[in-house]
Chains A and B, each alone.
Chain A
Amino acid sequence: MRRVTKVYPGGHVGLENVSLRVDRGEFVFLVGPTGCGKTTLIKTLIRELEPTEGEVLVAGRDISTLSSSKIPQLRRRIGTVFQDYKLLPSRTVYDNVAYALQVIGASRSEIRTKVPDALRLVGLADKVKSFPDQLSGGEQQRLSVARAFVNHPPLLLADEPTGNLDPNTSIGIMQVLYRINRTGTTVVVVSHDREMVDKMRRRVIALDSGRVVRDQAAGTYTPDDESTREFAMRLREEMGVDDEEPRY
């Protein structure tokens, strides 16, 4: 992002002169108090919002110049986990994930293999026939992650993926994101869960009133070869959560 400013119609400043760069394969946290512009930043990345000034480059391409017919192409290459999940209420768990593949014109056989894979990754393999309103908050969140990741996008954005969830479930979600990151996907996570962010020991970008106020690694970087299981165990230990493996 280069000198991005977003001013809302009412005059409220969402982002002010934000410049930052996230490299391929990075795991980045975006933190800050409510209303600091985290969600605005995510929305500008998928062109749900257009910046008032500045450039947003995704994979080297300025997305503010995209014509509206090209926006779907952009969104297919970015998996997004929304704060409010944004699931399709009239579709089953399976169909919600399958929809992300259907929009890119995937074949039936491709859908039949990829959807169960994604659901297994987030631990929802036994809920394929449920509808979103039959799932708990954590399960809906994980479904949202599965949908975002099912077509293996190079970039995954997660807006408050652990908001309103208990620590154990949060760790489960983080574990999934960590696993996805290890497949080479760039992951950007918006969070205000300070403790969790610190324990993850990844790059943290802090926003306040629409400005970047901090951009540094939190604590020491853990070695990249930490396995997902080790990662979860360490997190549980450091956060004082019962060392109880979730079923997935």
Chain B
Amino acid sequence: MGRFFFFIREGLRALRRSALPSLTAILTVCLTVLMLGVLIPVLQTTNNKTNEVRNQVGLRVFLNDTDPQGNPLPDGGIGGQQAPPAQVQALKVRLEAIPHVKAVAFVSKEQALGILSDRLKAENRQDITAQLPGAHNPLPASFNVTPDDLSNLSSIRAAITPPGANGQPAPLSPLISGIGDSRDDAAKITGATTAVRWILGVISALLLIASLLLVGNTIRLSIYARRREVEVMRLVGATNWFIRWPFMVEGLVCGLVGAAVAIGFLFLGKQVIVDPLANNFKLLSSGHSIGFASLALVLLCVAMGVSALGSGLTLRRFLRV
């Protein structure tokens, strides 16, 4: 226990005595953490948005309207009424049973009309829906089928329209009038989002490596300035760990102080800049990015760990006396 406090005292003493190198190390850690603290949420939000876009791509299975008896009107027959709920439910269960289907959502004729009206209203063209005669709703009911992954879209499509007796694809239920998908769009989105993911990955990796090198190098310089001292310690019979612990304590404190200052600035930035903007920009407020507390904790631990290990490892070179 006495040793433990001795090492802490020694580490703090060294910090005081070599104030300038310590300050440089603290500043480096601070800037690095600041940079990571800004970029991690940005990268994460971008990644979340990418995933969101990917998740929105799916199949739309359009349903035939039926006659009053519940028999499907042929040929995409529009102008009847929506299929009875029992039939809709049965089809939904069948669709959900298809492998790789993540979710199936029913959009009724009324909902479809509602969506269209909203969209037109947004474009100030509600006159188009207003022209619809009376209760007539030409829009079909449909299922939105979401795949578990974008790449499984075609296999789901094949499962909904298996080859019939004549070898041609035929829908698995007479209720289905057709499948709408934006195959080209899907391909484009897949390509673009994959590229974005790769770029994000590479940027994160480079950033992490750069931060580690930067912090490691600063610590290396501050130890290099004291290599003679380390040599003397060795020559009067200090063991490697006896020399190393105070340096690691020093690194730990540099990491702690640097990261704490940076987190302070990040918190300030969040309060003053990001939070007010979040009300106006949906991208910023998408609630999936890492919470501030956990981000701060991760950055703090990483900064302290890297600084302490950096000190310990750098020292190895000078301990070979």
Contact = CB atoms under 8 A, between A and B. Distances in A.
A190 B232 CA distance: 19
B235 to A, nearest CB: 6
A48 B321 contact: yes
A103 B233 contact: yes
Contact of A82 (B2, B235, B242): B235
Contact of A103 (B2, B17, B229, B242): B242
B240 to A, nearest CB: 8
User: 3 closest pairs, A vs B, by CB?
Assistant: A75-B237, A76-B237, A103-B238
A147 B232 CA distance: 12
B6 interface: yes
A80 B233 contact: no
Contacts of B233: 88, 99, 103
A200 interface: no
A107 to B, nearest CB: 7
A147 B233 CA distance: 12
Interface in B8-36: 13-14, 17-18
Contact of A72 (B14, B226, B229, B238): B238
A86 interface: yes
Contact of B229 (A88, A108, A147): A88
Nearest to B10: A102
Nearest to A131: B17
Contacts of A48: 235, 321
Contacts, number: 53
Interface residues of B, number: 21
A72 B237 contact: yes
B87 to A, nearest CB: 81
B97 interface: no
A103 B236 contact: yes
Interface in A93-114: 99-100, 102-105, 107-108
B229 A75 contact: no
A75 B17 contact: no
A100 B321 contact: no
Interface string B95-135: 00000000000000000000000000000000000000000
Given A90-B229, A108-B2, A73 B17 contact: no
Contact of A104 (B17, B231, B237, B321): B237
Interface string B297-321: 0000000000000000000000001
B155 interface: no
Interface of B: 2-3, 6, 13-14, 17-18, 226, 229, 231-240, 242, 321
Nearest to A150: B236
Contacts of A89: 229
A87 interface: yes
Contacts of B231: 86
A73 B239 CA distance: 8
Contacts of B238: 72, 99, 103
A107 B5 CA distance: 13
A107 B239 contact: no
B10 to A, nearest CB: 9
Most buried by A among B229, B235, B237: B237
A58 to B, nearest CB: 13
Nearest to A86: B232
A103 B237 contact: yes
Contacts of A86: 231-232, 235-236
A107 B231 CA distance: 24
A46 interface: yes
6 contacts: A72-B242, A75-B235, A80-B236, A82-B235, A89-B229, A107-B2
A86 B230 CA distance: 10
Contacts of B236: 75-76, 80, 86, 99-100, 103, 147
Interface string A31-64: 0000000000000001010000000000000000
A107 B2 CA distance: 8
Nearest to B238: A103
B237 A100 contact: yes
Nearest to A87: B232
A149 to B, nearest CB: 12
A90 B17 contact: yes
Contacts of A90: 13-14, 17-18, 226, 229
B239 A69 contact: yes
Interface in A137-175: 147
Most buried by A among B2, B226, B229, B321: B229
